[in-house]
């Protein structure tokens, strides 16, 4: 049976792609067929390329990344400028195709959990449509406590299980890192799947050994 997860973050630029790729490499190291999906990418295809490189299963690019938008903007704005409409039903069909190819699938959302995808839908709606447990990447920097707790609350309000969270130190100068992680461990009712210290040169293979695959 395929294990599949929707990976979201407390904000943009918190290392979602790094962590998603690291989970894929960790799964592959355990002998699983691992496959990543980036439904919406805005600005360039770098995140998609990273997930493809970390996957050990080949899949059609148009299924891995149904929407590649030109400008690095919120998806609903980038889509408007490109003259396209992001359709979560199309994404769901692509996901169904990918799910049949692998044992372990990570779907990386765009931006934060509630980032708008269209005039009527956001990232939370996509997660609900796919019906997947969530992995939350917490970017450790000033302000992350409220962002993490609000996101965890929003996930549960949508009726989705939180499979776990990853603490990723994005600010090398952040004060009280251990204390902040301890605060989140006490308040987020989900397992900590890994702590990733600041990476000057992020490497998914090195990060993979720091993570525990969600159940």
Q: Is 16 a catalytic residue?
A: no
Query: How far apart are the C-alpha atoms of 214 and 185, rounded to whole Å?
Result: 16
Contact at 8 Å (CB) between 13 and 170? yes
The token duo for 154 is 């929003």
Strands 34-37 and 134-140: unpaired
Out of 16, 25, 38, 63, the active site residue is 38
Supply the Cα-derived Rg of the chain in whole angstroms: 16
Query: How far apart are the C-alpha atoms of 61 and 93, rounded to whole Å?
Result: 14
In DSSP terms, which residues pair with 3 in a beta bridge? 104
Query: How far apart are the C-alpha atoms of 212 and 42, rounded to whole Å?
Result: 29
Which residues are known to be catalytic? 38
């Amino acid at each position: 049976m395929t294990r599949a997860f929707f990976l979201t973050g407390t904000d943009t630029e918190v290392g979602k792609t790094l962590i998603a790729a690291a989970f894929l490499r960790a799964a592959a190291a355990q002998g699983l067929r691992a496959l990543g999906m980036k439904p919406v990418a805005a600005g360039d295809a770098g995140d998609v390329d990273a997930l493809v490189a970390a996957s050990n299963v080949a899949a059609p690019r148009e299924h891995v990344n149904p929407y590649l938008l030109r400008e690095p903007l919120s998806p609903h704005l980038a889509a408007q400028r490109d003259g396209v409409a992001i359709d979560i039903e199309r994404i769901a069909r692509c996901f169904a195709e990918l799910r049949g190819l692998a044992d372990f699938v990570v779907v990386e959302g765009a931006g934060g959990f509630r980032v708008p995808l269209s005039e009527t839908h956001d990232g939370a709606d996509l997660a609900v449509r796919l019906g997947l447990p969530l992995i939350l990447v917490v970017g450790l920097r000033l302000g992350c406590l409220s962002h993490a707790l609000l996101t965890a609350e929003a996930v549960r309000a949508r009726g989705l299980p939180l499979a776990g969270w990853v603490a990723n130190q994005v600010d090398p100068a952040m004060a009280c890192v251990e204390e902040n992680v301890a605060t989140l461990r006490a308040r987020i009712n989900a397992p900590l799947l890994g702590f990733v210290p600041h990476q000057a040169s992020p490497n998914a293979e090195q990060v993979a050994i720091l993570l525990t695959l969600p159940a």
